[in-house]
Amino acid sequence: MGNSRQTNKRQLAQKRVVVALRMATSAGQQKLNGIFDFLGAHRHWHIGLYRTKPEFTPEVVRNELAHGADGFIIGIPDVDDALEVLAASRVPVVMANITGGGIERRNDGKVVFLKNDSTEIGREAANTLLREGVYKSYGYAGYRTDDDWSRERGTAFRDTLDAAGFVGRMFDTAHYADRLEDKATMVKWLRELPKPCGIFAACDDRAFEILDVCREIGIKVPAEVGVLGVNNDAMLCENAEPRLSSVQPDFIGEGRLAAEMLDAMMSGRTVEPAKRVMKVGVRTIVHRESTMPQSETGRFVQKVLSFITKEAIKGIGVEDVARHFKISRSLLELRFGELQRESVYEAMLHIRMEEVKRRLRCSNDPIAEITATCGWANPDPPKRLFKKRFGISMRDYRAQHKSV
């Protein structure tokens, strides 16, 4: 009898929690694992699980509320009608990487928004490609929407490269607007990237598209272009050609945090407005064949590239680079050429010429002053080099491309 009463008490204490996650993706599956991980260590819930958008309707939400649902964890996008019902209620809700239906206007301290830390994702992607040590340039392929997450990932990627002495070549809505979805524009961007290039794509879907276009136009992956996605979606990553490397956000940690916050709110805790948006970072980087393996030589070459990117316009020579790294010129050229397929001198000349072009476009400085600030005491040699390399004089280039 006593055991029966205790069982009834435990059953009465159970919370009814509605979990709506896209289970067709590994992200949704891992979030659910995180929820179960929290429950296994703490307490039991009675869970109502909805796996797709058609399942999670306003009628379902009303029915769950009518039958005493204690809380909701929602991670299915584009269910605004269902969220409108929750926005009009006072039931605790955790939103996992989505919003909508006016629920963000609820200010009762019972709504929490979890988001991937897009800044950390972009930063880790840049550092991962930098550590491979083989790339001459870096690019970011944003997603087709102008959502904050895509923009934030690209900004963090670019800023991390900038701090390391490299330029991030952006293919995103800020730079290409509607042309972002034009295949010809993508092809042109990919072809113009200095090779080898490390590309970070905003998500695995975008990375899959990049790989497909590279295969179609004959760009070799990873020899000419390395590609890194986000989400580690096994369906895409394992079936890409070559298999796709990807940043793995901490979806399990997100699920665990969602359960923890919902449990706290269902127990009476309210969340301050300033703390109701919480970010979850990166779990790991999953390396596959679309990126180059790390090597000692690669890391050395990356340091050389960073150094000459900053110093080339000062007019330094190859001997200066060898002296800086305390290595013989012949060994420097051997290691550098092995991965970059050009000499250190050619790499520095490219950097200096690109800076000349930039200053011709963006300043009114005399040509002799521009060439002097890019490392040439005499303006005649760089003028001849410019005409030979680009098929146009500096003066005519300025006239055609002046932006100020």
pLDDT digits (tens, 9 = 90+) for 289-344: 899 776 777 778 878 887 888 899 999 999 999 999 999 999 999 988 877 778 99
The CATH number for 313's domain is 1.10.10.60
Q: Within this chain, do residues 240 and 389 fall inside the same structural domain, yes or no?
A: no
Same domain for 236 and 333?
no
* Same domain? 207 vs 163: yes
Instruction: Tell me which amino acid residue 98 is.
Output: I
Percent of the chain exceeding pLDDT 90 equals 69
User: Quick one: average pLDDT of 110-131?
Assistant: 94
Determine, yes or no, domain membership for 286. Answer: no
pLDDT at 125 over 90: yes
pLDDT of 239 higher than 80: yes
Counted residue by residue, the chain has a size of 404
Indicate the SS3 state at residue 115: strand
The pLDDT of 217-227, averaged and rounded, is 93
Alpha helices per DSSP H over 145-203 = 148-163, 173-176, 183-192
Q: What is the pLDDT of residue 374?
A: 93
pLDDT at residue 335, as a whole number: 87
pLDDT tens, 71-85?
A: 999 999 999 999 999
The arithmetic mean of pLDDT across residues 350-360, rounded, is 88
Same domain, 23 and 74: yes
Residue 368 lies in a domain: yes
- Asked whether the beta carbons of 383 and 393 are under 8 A apart, the reply is yes
**How many whole angstroms separate alpha carbon 94 and alpha carbon 38?**
15
Token digits of residue 353: 């010429």
Asked, for residue 155, whether it belongs to a domain, the answer is yes
The pLDDT value given to residue 337: 84
Q: Does 8 have pLDDT greater than 50?
A: no
In a domain, 288, yes or no: no
Q: Is residue 62 part of a domain?
A: yes
* Domain assignment of residue 194, yes or no: yes
Mean pLDDT of 238-252: 93
pLDDT of 403 reads 55
For residues 210 and 129, membership in a common domain is answered with yes
**Same domain as 315, residue 325:** yes
Average pLDDT for the chain: 90
404 confidence band (pLDDT: 50, 70, 90): very low
Angle (nearest 5°) at CA 304 between 303 and 307: 85
pTM of the model: 0.72
More confident residue, 185 or 309: 185
Q: What is the CATH number of the domain that holds 99?
A: 3.40.50.2300
Do the beta carbons of residue 93 and residue 101 sit within 8 Å?
A: no
| Distance in angstroms (rounded) separating the CA atoms of residues 325 and 387 | 33
**Pairwise CA distance, residues 214 & 194, whole Å:** 14
Q: 397 and 301 in one domain?
A: yes
Are 86 and 178 part of one and the same domain? no
pLDDT bin (cut points 50, 70, 90) of residue 354 is confident
Q: Which of 75, 60, 81, 71 is nearest to 25 (CA)?
A: 75
Is pLDDT above 70 for 4?
no
- β-bridge mates for residue 20, sequence order: 50, 74
122 burial (CB, 10 Å; 0-12 / 13-18 / 19+) is buried
In a domain, residue 99? The reply is yes
Examine the domain organization and report whether 134 and 237 are in the same domain.
yes
Mean pLDDT of 197-214: 96
Residue 206 is part of which domain span?
118-249
Same domain (yes/no): 342, 273: no
Q: Does the pLDDT value for residue 93 go beyond 80? A: yes
Contact 191, 226 (CB under 8 A): no
Do both 59 and 125 map to the same domain? no
Total domain count, the chain? 3
Residue 262 confidence (pLDDT) above 90: yes
More confident residue, 168 or 390: 168
For the chain, percent of residues with pLDDT exceeding 70: 94
Same-domain status, 23 and 122: no
Task: Examine residue 291 and state whether it is found in any structural domain, yes or no.
Answer: no
Cis peptide before 222 (omega within 30 of 0): yes
Mean pLDDT of 187-192: 96
